[in-house]
Amino acid sequence: MRKLFNPHNASHWRQLIQWLFFGWCLFIGIQFGLFVRHFESNGMSGYYPRPPGVEGFLPIGSLMSLKTWLLTGHFDPVHPAALVLFITFLVMALTTKKSFCSYICPVGTCSELTWKLGRKLFGGNFRIWRGLDLFLQFIKYALLLFFVKLILLDMPAAALKAYLAAPYWAIADVKMLHFFTRMSATTLLVITVLSLLSVIYKNFWCRYLCPYGALLGLLSMLSPFKVTRCAKTCIDCGACSRACPQLIDVQHKIRVSSPECTGCLTCVSNCPEKGALAMSLWQRPVRGIVFVAVVMMLFGGGVLTGMLSDHWQTSLTYGDYQRLIPLAERLGH
């Protein structure tokens, strides 16, 4: 009988961490919802502290904050945790591949859950024709290019400063909460369609539409960590390619440099031949559990740095939220 959790299997550790982060995201989402409800009810409901981690859901604003910080040295005090987390995820991509996507991102967790459900329902997942697959992958890079051009290239420092000082940015996290709790029929339809497509095709959103993942994937190509295959030991069984959630043809590569690789270690864990496939650091094989530990140390180090440098808690006061949250519906982009 197959073990649900094998402490010697790095992929199992990855999945455990993934679900712990998913639970943490749910917790901070609920806590933030209760925080907002306190102000929306004019203090009639109980007060709960605002969790700074909710700012991890503001990647576009974080890109603006990053440019402002690089140009002026000004670290945004309104949503400092957003920039701390954004920089942390960029560093993780440069170091431990696109590990954010397979270890931390709640959307990635939901996507993995849905395609695994599809595999159980249909006995497998469908594959999109190769030519169409390449075209669809271009969409996320086109979206990334749009945001890079709009924010990093075209938006002047004065416009960035005005946006980061605007009331909308102050409660951008509240607007994000309302996006999920007050969905329009169109939004609900789009999410439903994407969810159904994710049941049929592996990681549909992540593979074709996520610009955040596209950015991290490009940076991950510079990572010193790579899945490597020993051609002498490999028995060409194809287990690694069949197991890869990102549909990478691992079997026919010596080093996996694809921007789609998330460092999930699924291919390594499914390899039946000892020494044939491994995660390597500068072409030297390392134990999978070491890679998992490095991922966690980078994330924990980033958050701890933000806390110790006083770039974690917002500068907004109780009074600011008391004034701004009731106006959320009237504040547009």
**DSSP β-bridge partners for residue 40:** none
State residue 4's pLDDT score.
73
* Residue 186: both structure tokens together: 């169109």
Question: From CA 250, how far away is CA 260, in angstroms rounded?
Answer: 12
pLDDT confidence tier of residue 7, bands split at 50, 70 and 90? confident
Q: Which of 159-163, 296-300, 324-328 has the highest mean pLDDT?
A: 296-300
Residue-level pLDDT at 5: 76
**DSSP secondary structure letters along 263-297:** ---HHHHH--STTSEEEEETTEEE-HHHHHHHHHH
Q: Is 70 exceeded by the pLDDT of residue 318?
A: yes
Q: Each residue of 109-125: b (16+ CB within 10 Å) or e?
A: bebbebbeebeeeeeeb
Confidence of residue 91 (pLDDT cuts 50, 70, 90): very high
Query: What are the backbone dihedrals phi and psi of residue 292, each rounded to the nearest 5 degrees, phi first?
Result: -60, -45
- Taking the C-alpha atoms of residue 251 and residue 139, their distance in angstroms, rounded to an integer, is 27
Residue 88 has pLDDT above 60, yes or no: yes
Cα 194 to chain center, whole Å? 17
Provide the residue ranges of all domains of the chain, joining segments of one domain with +. Answer: 10-38+49-223+289-328
What local confidence, expressed as pLDDT, does residue 286 receive? 95
Q: What is the pLDDT of residue 330?
A: 83
Mean pLDDT computed over 128-139: 94
The answer to whether residue 71 scores a pLDDT higher than 60 is yes
pLDDT at residue 332 greater than cutoff 70: no
Spatial separation of the C-alpha atoms in residues 107 and 81, rounded to whole Å: 19
Checking if the pLDDT of 295 tops 60, the result is: yes
**C-alpha dihedral sign at 25, 30, 32, 33:** positive
Average pLDDT estimate for 306-323: 97
State the pLDDT confidence band at 1, using cuts at 50, 70 and 90: very low
* CB-CB contact of 85 with 62 (8 Å): yes
Tokens of 269: 């864990």
Q: Residue 135: pLDDT band by 50, 70, 90 thresholds?
A: very high
What pLDDT was estimated at residue 8? Answer: 79
Tell me how far CA of residue 184 lies from CA of 172, 180, 190, 246, in angstroms.
18, 9, 10, 31
Cβ contacts of 3 within 8 Å, gap of 6 or more? none
Question: To which H or E segment does residue 114 belong?
Answer: helix 106-122
Share above pLDDT 90 across residues of the chain, in percent, rounded to a whole number = 94
Q: Quick one: pLDDT band at residue 18, thresholds 50, 70, 90?
A: very high
Q: Give 44's DSSP letter.
A: -
**Is 90 exceeded by the pLDDT of residue 51?**
yes
How do residues 176-229 score in pLDDT, each as one tens digit?
A: 999 999 999 999 999 999 999 999 999 999 999 999 999 999 999 999 999 999
> Is the pLDDT score of 323 beyond 70?
yes
Q: How much of the chain, in percent, has pLDDT values that exceed 70?
A: 98
pLDDT given at position 331: 77
Q: What is the pLDDT of residue 2?
A: 54
Distance CA 84, CA 66 (A): 9
